[in-house]
Amino acid sequence: MGFSIGWLQQGKTQKAAAAVAYRHMMQAALAPDFYAAGAVPDTFDGRGQMVTLYSALAARRLRAIGSTDARKIAARLNTLVLDGFDAAFREQGVGDSSIARKVRALAEAYYGLGTALNAALDTGDADQVAAVLVRNGMAGHDGANTLTAHIRQQSEQIAAQPDSEILAGEFAWSVLSGALPNVQA
């Protein structure tokens, strides 16, 4: 009986998939159209919330797959997001003495927004999704409908993707389109 190194390769594959998913997610969440068009406040918090929204959608899709690989990719993706928040605070000059407190507060908001968004999406009611966005300061009542439509479209789009693409980290995010006058597809 020999030893297998397959479990080592599996871990590398999951980390690589999470890295690909993170890169695509960050490109989508930080796309300038959201901020230039005023759909989301162009602030540290606004950008963090957009990352949270996309992360919640990614975790939701991975959870729907339900496999061990999907759970491990989701956990790794979560770690990458929180590490990214830490790095963003450091880039802003936040000192080591307060960084843990700030990251913890942001992580709590991250989990809270993600949980609320998933619960609202589960209802299938656009008004509940919009209420989550307004309650979390992501959009005013006018902008919430635009952002809600985009979030729901993203959720449906990645739900339609084959599991194999998702497990490779290849989320098919799209840009905010049509709803804002100065956004080009």
Q: Which residue, 174, 159, 163, is CA-closest to 124?
A: 159
Domain boundaries, the chain: 10-167
Calculate the dihedral angle through the C-alpha atoms of 170, 73, 85, 109, rounding to the nearest 10 degrees. Answer: 110
The predicted model scores a pTM of: 0.83
Please answer whether residues 49 and 113 qualify as being in contact, where contact means their C-beta atoms are separated by less than 8 angstroms: yes
Classify burial at 31, counting beta carbons within 10 Å of its beta carbon; exposed 0-12, middle 13-18, buried 19 or more: middle
Model pLDDT, residue 153 = 93
- What span, in angstroms and rounded, lies between the C-alpha atoms of 39 and 26? 17
State the 10-residue block means of pLDDT for the chain, 185 residues long.
Answer: 52 89 93 81 86 92 94 94 86 80 80 90 93 84 82 94 96 69 31
Model pLDDT, residue 177 = 57
Model pLDDT, residue 180 = 38
Model pLDDT, residue 176 = 67
